[in-house]
Structure formats: C-alpha cells, structure tokens
Amino acid sequence: MRVGFVGLGAMGAHMARNLHRAGLLTAVWNRTASKAQALAAELGVIAGANLKQLAANSDAVVSCVSADADLLEVTRGVAADLASGSLMIDCSTVGAETARQAAGLLEAAGVEFLDCPVSGGVEGARDGTLAIMAGGSDAAFTRAMPILSALGRTITHFGPTGSGQAAKATNQIMCAGIIESIAEAMAFARAQGLPLEKLIDTLGKGAGSSWYFVHRAPNMARGEFPAGFRVRLHAKDLKICHDMAARFGVALPVVERMLAEYAELIARGFGDEDVSAAFRLKAELFERTNIMSAPPRPPHRDA
Ligand code: NAP
C-alpha cells in the first residue's frame, strides 16, 4: 500500500518516519513546504508539490493537522484525486461532527474515512507507541491496521465515524484534570522548599503518578515548557469537549476551569508552550500569598 502523509508538525514528522520504517511511506506534504522537502530528502520519498499530487501517489492518506477547519481543507484538497477504494486516516484531534463531515466529503468518490485520533504525546509518536482510537467501518479499520500498527501500540475500534474522536475527547478531559492537579501540586511542593527532582522520582512511582507527572513535572521543576503539546491545541480540544457536553446542557467544571486558565496563558503569549506551562499560573498563587502574608513592616518613626 502506498501511503501519503499530510501535516509534518510535532506529531506528524515522527509518525511519517515510523511509516517509512515500516516500508509504507511514499509521499509527504506539508503546508509549509520546506518541512516536507527536508523530510522527503531525509527519507527518500516524494515531497508532493500540492495535495492533488500527494493524493494521486497514494492508496491511503494519513493526516495530522491542527484543528477542524484544517482537516476539512485538507480533505477537500485530496478528495478529487484519491482513487475509488482508497482510504483516508485522520489522526488530528477534531470534533466528532467534523469527522463525519470529512467522511461525507469523501463518500461520493468511494473513499473511506477513519477518524483515528491519538494519545501518547510527541514521545509516543516518536517511539511508535501511540494509543489510537478509531471510528469508521469494520472494513476500513481492518484495511488500516498495517498503517496503524506502524504508528501505535494500543489500537482500538470504538464504532462508527466520530466515535474515535468521542473517545479522544474523553481522554482530553482526563488530561485537563491531571495537568491542573500536577501544576497545583508542583507549585505547592516548590513553596514548601522540597527538592523537586527527588520528589518527581519518588512520587512518580506512587499512586498519584501518571504519564503527565513523569514526563512533564520535570518541565515545571525547571521552569521551562518547550512544546510538547501546545497550550493552544489542548484549549482547542477542550472547546470541542465543551461543545459536546453543551449538547447535553452540561458545563463540566474541569473543562471550564482549564479553558479559562489556557485563555489566560494564550493572552500572555504562552499559547505555543507545552501544557505544563499551567504551572506558571499555579506558581503565581503562592507568589501572591507570599506578598500578602509577608510579616508587617515595623512602624515608621521619625528620627
Ligand atoms: P503542530 O506541531 O502545531 O503541527 C500542526 C501541523 O498541521 C503542521 O504540519 C501544520 O503545517 C499543519 N496544518 C495546520 N493547519 C493546516 C492547514 N490548514 N492545512 C494544512 N496543514 C495544516 O501540532 P501537533 O502537536 O503535531 O498536533 C497535530 C494534531 O495532533 C492536533 O490536532 C493535536 O491536537 C493532535 N495531538 C497532539 C499531541 C501532542 O502531544 N503534540 C498529542 C496527541 C494529539 P505548518 O507546518 O505549515 O504549520
């Protein structure tokens, strides 16, 4: 099977390399062409001049782009040039409804669509150990397995188109709560004067540990938040969760709180930092408290 890859960002470049290792990658395309040209030269594959050319050289297209509108733009870009019977696998995180729209754009051309959002961070993309949540027909899922196996270790088919994205939205709610609690705990630990590296090593083996604690608490200890999973991308995901819950008339407290914190970080120019930058706001809580609880200054006496 000839596989073309679209979207060579923090996740996509690693995923394309893993498809190459599995002997499946034939072409890459990226909106910023220089990234596609560099990776194509490194791997010895075609850098598509445009989406049409990429589609014409592919039996399956895998995409990993930022957000809903981007996926629909890419889908329109490949729809006319993918042969009937080919496959599009989208690994971006978008709304379940957007996944169904993308599937609709391809249906008339006889192209099957699978929503396959992923979890496991940039490290999981690099190591080919992503958890993949698929939505689409049984037949499309079976055909996609050689591709998905090159990208991830845990691959689950949840049901029809959109159900992969519903599973991913569930994951993003969990991540929001975990990131918030780790940021809060680390700010607390720093205020206690604890040795943070030692703390991470110990608590990382305890009951409160998680992937985020082990992999991102070190960012908080260093006060550096390189992307990673960008704040603006998780904010985008939580907006999707907000909209999906709102259809039930529900506002989820964890989602609403993290949306507000991310909005604050984005407003201050930290939207492209890793989500562990949530620590910035939690650390400030203690800085403010320190100012307010500083011992009162002695009364001023004239000499
Ligand atoms: P990223 O580093 O910001 O890369 C985004 C990619 O999408 C870039 O290649 C970008 O092209 C491309 N793109 C954006 N808009 C486009 C458009 N309209 N048309 C064509 N290409 C477009 O993001 P990322 O971290 O790789 O994340 C990609 C997706 O995976 C997102 O949906 C994210 O939520 C999801 N995800 C990320 C992580 C993570 O830890 N980073 C984990 C799980 C899932 P340019 O190079 O031209 O900007």
Helical H segments across 44-162, by residue range: 51-56, 68-79, 96-107, 121-127, 138-151
Q: Determine the Cα–Cα distance for residues 167 and 236; give it in Å rounded to an integer.
A: 16
CB 293 near ligand 1, within 6 Å: no
Ligand 1: nearest atom to the Cα of 35: 46
Residue-level pLDDT at 123 = 93
Spatial separation of the C-alpha atoms in residues 168 and 221, rounded to whole Å: 28
Q: Is the CB of 162 under 6 A from ligand 1?
A: no
pLDDT of the residue at 293? 52
| Residue 24 · residue 4 · CB < 8 Å | no
The pLDDT of residue 272? 97
pLDDT digits (tens, 9 = 90+) for 39-78: 999 999 999 999 999 999 999 999 999 999 999 999 999 9
Please give the distance, rounded to the nearest whole angstrom, from the Cα atom of residue 72 to the centre of ligand 1.
14
- Tell how far the Cα of 70 is from the centroid of ligand 1, in angstroms: 9
| Both structure tokens of 205 | 């083996």
What is the pLDDT at residue 294? 47
Report pTM: 0.91
Distance in Å, CA 62 to ligand 1 centroid: 13
Eight-state DSSP code of residue 297: P
Question: Ligand 1 within 6 A of 88 CB?
Answer: no
Partner residues linked to 28 by β-bridges? 5, 47
Phi, psi of 274 (to 5 degrees): -65, 155
Report the pLDDT value the prediction gives residue 290, as an integer from 0 to 100.
57
Per the annotation, the verdict on 168 as an active-site residue is yes
pLDDT of residue 179: 98
- Residue nearest atom 19 of ligand 1, based on CA coordinates: 70
Query: Residue 28: its pLDDT value, please?
Result: 98
Contact 87, 106 (CB under 8 A): no
Q: Is the CB of 93 under 6 A from ligand 1?
A: yes
- Specify the ligand 1 atom closest to the Cα of 233: 34
Tokens of 7: 């979207």
Q: Ligand 1: which of 11, 90, 122 to mutate, most ligand atoms within 8 Å of CB?
A: 11
Domains and CATH numbers, the chain: 3-160 (3.40.50.720), 166-287 (1.10.1040.10)
Ligand 1 contact, 11 CB (< 6 A): yes
Per-residue pLDDT, 298: 44
Taking the centre of ligand 1 as the mean of its atom positions, its distance from the CA of residue 40, in whole angstroms, is 18
Catalytic position from the list 168, 205, 236, 239: 168
Please give the pLDDT value at position 257. Answer: 98
Decide whether any atom of ligand 1 lies within 6 Å of the 103 Cβ: no
Supply the pLDDT for residue 288.
73
* Regions of the chain where pLDDT drops below 70: 289-303
Ligand 1 center–CA 64 separation, angstroms: 6
